[in-house]
Amino acid sequence: MDSTGSLLVSGVWFLRNTIGVIIKPYATYRRIVDHGRLGELFYIGILLAGYFALASLVKEASFRPFLLTRQFVALSTTAAVSFFLASTTIWMVGTLVGGTGSWQRITLAWGYTMMPTVMWFLVTSLLYVLLPPPRTTGMLGVAFSIVYLIFSVTLFFWKIVLSYLTLRFGLRLDAKKIAVAAAIMVPLFVVYSIAMYRLGVFRVPFL
Amino acid sequence: MVDTTYKKFVRRWEEVMDLPPQTLGPFTKPYKKLTRRLKVMPWPWLVLVSIFIVVGLYVLVGSAITFLVTLLQRGF
């Protein structure tokens, strides 16, 4: 199969797995780790690039090509570096606590955990335009806040489920070892998040 | 036909048994109960737990949750 064909097949797998992580995350993650193709990351990358293009427009609030391009490059580069740092950290820590699995498998599995992340950031960006902050303490403001927080917490839990499955299937760890790995990784991700905040790239960590 | 079905079954069996079942001592039963709900269509449970947490937070801090939302909305 040539590279175009291979990319098309990866695209079909990407669509199938994207629907799968929403409806049947457990079985889908097993499939991603066992039969996934690295080409699927290409489509995840396109999805993220689409979001960064939109976020650049919202953040800059002007149509100056130079500023927009600079913002887009800054967001994309930081997210790409963060993604590879995160997947490498997960692989290294997971291997350290006794996991077995390749870096490629972890990277692909971690790629699909970007779905809740990009969904949250996308909706937040759109809401920033439609209903700009600050929120009022009136009835409508509180009602919107409750709905928005329910949405955010639900996606956060989805992210936790997918991250757990990344470690479970990608590194074949049991729950106890996953807890140990999480105890090592969470402080590292907190440090990363603080660094991103200080640099002014992402106030909420894009992980 | 039977042969194909059997082969499919064996392949699926091997796939499922590839990872040893989880055991967490006294927590094994609650763990299995929880994960059973999250394996297929986890959304009703995820939303339900989120509603409990957010309503709990609202009861705890009142309309100050709007401050948290303002921060989050500026966080992208």
B48 touches chain A (CB under 8 A): no
Alpha-carbon gap, residue A55 to B35, rounded angstroms: 35
A134 prior amide bond cis, ω within 30: yes
Structure tokens at B24: 């967490």
Instruction: Say how far apart CA A206 and CA A124 lie, in whole Å.
Output: 13
> What's the complex ipTM?
0.89
Q: How far away is chain A from the Cα of B23, in angstroms, using its nearest Cα?
A: 8
Alpha carbons A133 and B72: distance in angstroms, whole number = 9
pTM summary value = 0.92
Q: Which residues of A are less than 8 Å from B57 in CB distance?
A: 149
The string of pLDDT tens digits covering residues A41-86 is 999 999 999 999 999 888 887 778 888 888 899 999 999 999 999 9
A201, B76 contact by CB (below 8 A): no
Q: Write phi, then psi, for B23 (nearest 5 degrees).
A: -130, 130
- The secondary structure element, H or E, covering residue A3 is helix A3-23
Q: Which of A27-31, A61-65, A183-187, B49-53 has the lowest mean pLDDT?
A: A61-65
Say how many C-beta atoms besides its own lie within 10 A of residue A58's C-beta: 14
Which of B66, B67, B71, B74 would you mutate first to test chain A, the one with the most A CBs within 10 A? B66
Q: Does A34 touch chain B (CB under 8 A)?
A: yes
Residues B7-48 pLDDT 10s: 888 888 887 777 878 888 899 999 999 999 999 999 999 999
Q: Check pLDDT > 70 for residue B1.
A: no
Q: Which chain B residues have a beta carbon less than 8 Å from that of A202?
A: 75-76
Token pair in block for residue B28: 């094994």
The alpha carbon of A123 is separated from its chain's Cα centroid by a whole number of angstroms, namely 14
Q: Report the pLDDT value the prediction gives residue A20, as an integer from 0 to 100.
A: 96
